[in-house]
A and B are shown apart, each in its own frame.
Chain A
């Protein structure tokens, strides 16, 4: 099943950085049929597309405390399964397995990276903006990690909340 985004053209929004408090706020559930939600979904896709290296962007990163995010890992060398560019509302992880550590960064924490353990395979239940169709996304590897990172954003969590230990954060040398 394809879940690729085919909604309206969005506008590019500024991306907030920590310690902005919106990034630490638990996002509200959204009504996928709400035109404002559909517009925000389009804006997230548009902003993600113009941000070099960006493979996911959640509503809190553009200042909206809501459970909505865009993901697109197409063409990424670490991606195995990919579902194109898509947006999910009210996503929940219903299965997680194959836990593995990996280095993560975030547009909202531009100068640091950290080692975070994530599931290498997830099943995520969500609804699609616009149609409100319920979908179950089964994915692995890099796309699974991206989904977990974005679902964390929607819960007011950053990768900094999950780093493995005192020596698991690093100064980023180059940001794309």
Chain B
């Protein structure tokens, strides 16, 4: 079944989640995966749902005030099994333009796939934490390349194996 990818963003206030999910439930949208958080005072939501047409979802969300929404049809998740080895990249240093772009480009060039990423700006401190799946045996070389990129950016970087599940 096709899925809808929906994004919602707006100044944080009470009831955004209730308003959005109620509107979607009203047109038969069944939420599957979602992530919602507040970024520097903006409440953001990214949702995948099944059920309605994109136009029905758009119509349901249109009356909501104070938020910008987008709806698009996407194909369902593929059965991708080649996941690689999970690692975590940590970067921190003085904020400057292009840190995320430079670091993620190095990861991409090594064949690494970023599966999750967050950044925080705290005063002049910029922090980037990324979870990446790396091709087998590529971590040591990537660590060296990240160190070079980090030195050029004037930031600190560490690459380490992610914790694996115990049970």
Contacts and interface: CB of A to CB of B under 8 A. Distances in A.
- Sort chain A's interface into a size bin: 20 to 34
A171 B37 CA distance: 12
A104 to B, nearest CB: 13
Contacts of B156: 24, 156, 158, 161
A19 B93 contact: yes
Given A112-B122, A169-B118, A160 B131 contact: no
Nearest to B94: A19
B125 A19 contact: yes
A147 B160 CA distance: 21
A169 B130 contact: no
B117 to A, nearest CB: 5
B104 to A, nearest CB: 12
A82 interface: no
B125 A109 contact: yes
B32 to A, nearest CB: 19
A164 B156 CA distance: 17
B105 interface: no
B130 A111 contact: no
A17 B123 contact: yes
Nearest to A25: B156
B138 interface: no
A162 B159 CA distance: 9
Given A160-B90, A160-B92, A18 B125 contact: yes
A168 B93 CA distance: 18
Given A161-B90, A165-B129, A166-B129, A112 B120 contact: yes
A168 B158 contact: no
A2 B154 CA distance: 43
> 7 tightest A-B contacts by CB?
A166-B116, A111-B122, A19-B94, A161-B158, A166-B118, A24-B156, A160-B92
Interface of A: 17-19, 24, 109, 111-112, 117, 156-158, 160-169, 171
Given A162-B160, A166-B130, A167-B118, 6 more contacts: A19-B124, A112-B125, A164-B163, A165-B88, A168-B129, A171-B122
8 contacts: A17-B125, A109-B122, A109-B125, A161-B90, A162-B158, A164-B88, A166-B129, A169-B120
